[in-house]
Structure 1
Amino acid sequence: MLSVRGGRRLLIGFRLPDGWRPSRMDMLLALAVVVAGQVESFGRQGLDPGQVRHPVPLAAGAVVAGALLALRRRSPVGTLLVLMAVGAAVRVVTGGLYYPAWHFYSTLILVHTVAGAAELRSRRGAAGLASVLTAYLFLQAFQYNDLAEVLISAVFIGVAYVSGILLRRQIDQTLRLARRTARLEAEREEQARRAVDEERARIARELHDIVSHNVSLMTLQAGGVRTMLGEEARRERDLLLNVERAGREAVEELRLMLGMLRDPGGTGVQPPSAGLDGLDALVAQVKDTGVAVGVGVKGRPRPLPPGLDLSAYRVVQEALTNALKHARAGRIDVTVTHSPGALVLEVVDDGTGDGGGQGSGHGLIGMRERVAMYGGELTAGPTPGGRGYRVHARFPLG
């Protein structure tokens, strides 16, 4: 069994003392040759023409050939040369009266292995081709063959050699595709991680503005109340002073920790704060592109926390952008549902979803990050009818 791990080929099977392992296929082929050789040697024993007069040397040769097949991947060329030597020795001992079939089968297997061991244009490949030609000439000299037998042997040797080349090229292509797939998967994961980091940095910039503004406002109000109190309320003045001091320290910490994320370009210009109250202006921009947009509000609207309000607006904004860029939508319906326990957003389009497959998935990642930050849930996918796309976000309240 051949497996790929870390660009190396591991052969699973019988373990040799030095750690090298023949595969299970090697062991199976070796066993088949040994068994077939024993059956041939003793099953055809006799004195008539075409029978085996000396079965023991042929049976021993079959065992050696099986051992060579088990070791064939370690040194294909050397194994093939040793097999020729074994065949010559068996011929000398038996007088050359019978050519064993196991020798021919083993030769074909080793020719296939030699062809798949190295590229033909390399030195190992050239040496392998030379050994294959030598093995073919040896087969012809082993016993007398007529022209038909010579051509049949050439066909079998050629098929074994070509099939080995084709198998090697297929394995090389599979390894290249596996490495490319692993590289693309790593790049995709890196892009997704970078998209999450970028979206979190963007959220941090927006939350920095919101939190800094509110804490600064609380600090100013505490200071105003402190100055309005008379000298008789010394204890209350001290408490308000502590509140004011803590507020200033909190703003300073925010500035030091998150201030670097506010404007990477260093322009100092911040985009205006957005929320669901700016949904009409956003929809108007989409309508200018020629797409029909419907907006529905269910329930009684109520004030939302600034950060949640901003995240809800960004989810709708990203869903509209995706519908325009990737879904080729003709109509988009936006539904905002205010309930006592949650804010629910739903954006449904009638697009085909065949926007060229150029979406990176970063928009969906950003929406999930914003919803998850407030403990909510987001689902996105094709509509049940298969025509259009639906984005559903739920922000828990309270």
Structure 2
Amino acid sequence: MLTRLLNGRRPTWPDLLLSLAVTVAGLVESYGRQGAGYGQIENPMTMAAGAIVSGVLLLFRRAFPMTALLMLTVLGFAMQRTTNPEYYAAWHFYSTLILLHSVASAAELRSRRGIAGLFCLLIAYGHLQTLRLVDIPEVLISAIFVGVAYTSGILLRRQMDRTARLAQHTTRLEMEREERARWAVAEERARIARELHDIVSHNVSLMTLHVGGVRRMLGDDRERERERTLLLGVEQAGREAVAELTLMLGMLRSLGDGDVPAPQPGLDRLDELIAQVREAGPRIEPRIIGTPTPLSSGLDLSAYRLIQEALTNVLKHARASNVDITIAYGPAELSILVINDGADPAVGDTARRPPEGGHGLIGMRERIEMHGGELSVGPIPGGHYRVFARFPLGDPVGVG
């Protein structure tokens, strides 16, 4: 219960020191001036008990400053009735000044708590004027001390608010600086990835194409079978290296240190793609010929992107109602055929149009040629449109 009331404003070490100082000073004053007569304390035990209560009230000056000040004022009235009415304890005056400072620093003066604190100040100051033997100099002196204590609390409050605002501003600037640094790192990583991809992938692709050219120049001479086999292995290794390089450099392009690039799609996710396109209207009939065999990640991705681009063009440019997709696996090659019945003569050859967003058929042609394959697109008799791609794996296989 008390913990909830304190609400994180528990007594601190300065509060403990102030409480101890006032309590000890009150005890010294109570028993040091024990006696009868003017300026003496006739009942030191009562005065000492009041000093102890005053010290306890100071422990809660942060949590309940106005309550503590009002209770201290009531305690002052009680001391006047039970001890020498002509004697005013110094510890009570010290405690009043400390609590006035706490009340002023607890809330802004223009708030409700600030106005309530100002009324508490007037009550405490009014109590000082009820003491006996109070003359004009005493009124002015007490007004000066009370005013200084209250004003110092207001200034402390404003300084605390200014410090909090500066801390928030500094934190915000630090967060923005870290965010800019992260973006700078991400941009640098993306730039490095682009440069590496442009340089390394281009050179490896060029070497792969040259090796493929040399292999074809060897012809079908059986005496060169071993050389053709070795060159074919170099080709395949080069294509796989380019594909893996593209995937690895994609990690450099990912934004943020904790981001993980999403896995690249392949033909195993073709059903998801077809389901999405079917929602737009056309009827799609997929067909698989042969036994699906494991493909390299780069070739698998290229085959998926080809079908994705063909279906995208169906939605964008053709008024097709039926789309046939045929995927043929063979020991020599992977063949993909996409035919739709919505060819529009006004559209023309899609492959000759500029690629849209970097994923057009021209980009697909380059991707397929990187694997040593070929792409053919265009209208066919019957008002249909045909996209055909062949990826070499070995001996050719036909798809109709």
Distance 1:169 1:20, change over 3 A: closer
CA contact (8 A) 1:115 1:128 kept: yes
Question: How many Å apart are 1:207 and its aligned residue?
Answer: 1.1
Following the alignment from structure 1 to structure 2, what is the Cα–Cα distance between the partners of residues 126 and 176? 24
1:193 deviates by 0.8
SS state of the match for residue 171, structure 2? Answer: helix
| Residue of 233, 238, 243 corresponding to 2:234 | 243
Aligned counterparts of 2:74 and 2:147: Cα–Cα separation in 1: 21
CA displacement 1:295-354 (0-9 Å, x = unmatched): xxxxxxxxxxxxxxxxxxxxxxxxxxxxxxxxxxxxxxxxxxxxxxxxxxxxxxxxxxxx
Shift of 1:254: 4.8
User: Contact conserved, 2:41 with 2:84, CA < 8 A, in 1?
Assistant: no
Residue 123 of structure 1 is aligned with which of 112, 119, 133? 112
- Specify the structure having the higher radius of gyration (Cα): 2
Aligned to 1:231: 222
Structure 1: 4+ residue segments shifted above 6 A: 14-19, 259-262
Quote how far apart the aligned CAs of 1:228 are. Answer: 3.7
CA 1:48–1:259: 2 relative to 1, 3 Å: closer
Q: 1:206 aligns with which of 195, 199, 219?
A: 195
Contact 1:115–1:161 under 8 Å retained in 2 = yes
**Match of 1:125, as an amino acid?**
G
Contact 1:116-1:168 within 8 A present in 2 as well: yes
Q: How do residues 1-398 of structure 1 correspond to structure 2 at under 5 angstroms?
A: 21-229=10-218, 230-254=221-245
In 2 relative to 1, CA 259–93 (structure 1 residues): closer, same or farther, beyond 3 Å? closer
Deviation of 1:198 after TM superposition, in Å, equals: 0.4
Q: Which amino acid aligns with 2:72?
A: L
Task: Return the TM-score normalized by structure 1.
Answer: 0.59
Question: Which stretch shows the higher mean deviation, 241-250 or 167-176?
Answer: 241-250
Secondary structure of the equivalent of 1:41?
helix
The match for 1:363 is: none
CA distance in 2, matches of 1:91, 1:54: 11
**Corresponding letter in the other structure for 1:26:** D
Provide the rounded CA distance (Å) in 2 between the counterparts of 1:17 and 1:155: 32
Find the aligned partners of 2:102 and 2:5 in 1 and give their Cα distance. 20
The SS at the match of 1:45 is coil
SS in 2 for 1:103: helix
Deviation string, structure 1 residues 224-264 (Cα, Å, up to 9, x no partner): 332343321212211211211232343345557768999xx
Provide the identity percentage. Answer: 65
1:7 corresponds in structure 2 to none
> How far apart are 1:46 and its partner, in Å?
1.5
Q: Describe the superposition over 1:149-191 as per-residue Cα deviations: whole angstroms up to 9, x where unpaired.
A: 0000000000000000001111111111111111101110110
Unaligned runs of 5+ in 2: 254-400
5+ residue gaps, structure 1: 1-13, 263-398
Q: Distance in 2 between matches of 1:221 and 1:99?
A: 107
| Structure 1 residue 15, shift from structure 2 partner | 12
The 3 A distance-change label for structure 1 pair 29 and 258 is: closer
Within 2, Cα distance between the matches of 1:168 and 1:39?
33
Tell me how far apart the structure 2 counterparts of residues 236 and 139 of structure 1 sit (CA, whole Å): 112
Q: Is the Cα contact below 8 Å between 1:15 and 1:21 reproduced in 2?
A: no
Q: Per-residue deviation at 1:216?
A: 1.4
Aligned partners of 1:217 and 1:116: how far apart in 2? 76
One-letter amino acid matched to 1:124 = R
Work out the CA distance in 2 between the residues paired with 1:16 and 1:132. Answer: 23
In 2, distance between residues paired with 1:64 and 1:91? 15
* Cα separation, partners in 2 of 1:80 and 1:101, compared to 1, 3 Å: same
Letter of the 1:227 counterpart: R
Q: Which moved more, 1:115-124 or 1:237-246?
A: 237-246
Give the conservation status (yes or no) of the 8 Å contact 2:212–2:231: yes
Contact 2:101/2:149 (CA < 8 Å) preserved in 1? yes
Query: After superposition, what is the alpha-carbon deviation per residue over 1:264-309, rounded to whole angstroms, capped at 9, x for unaligned?
Result: xxxxxxxxxxxxxxxxxxxxxxxxxxxxxxxxxxxxxxxxxxxxxx
Shift of 1:18: 8.5
Give, as a single letter, the amino acid of the residue that structure 2 aligns with 1:76. Answer: P
Residue type of the alignment partner of 1:122: S
Please report how far the alpha carbon of residue 220 of structure 1 lies from its aligned counterpart in structure 2 after TM superposition.
Answer: 2.0
Count of residue correspondences: 249
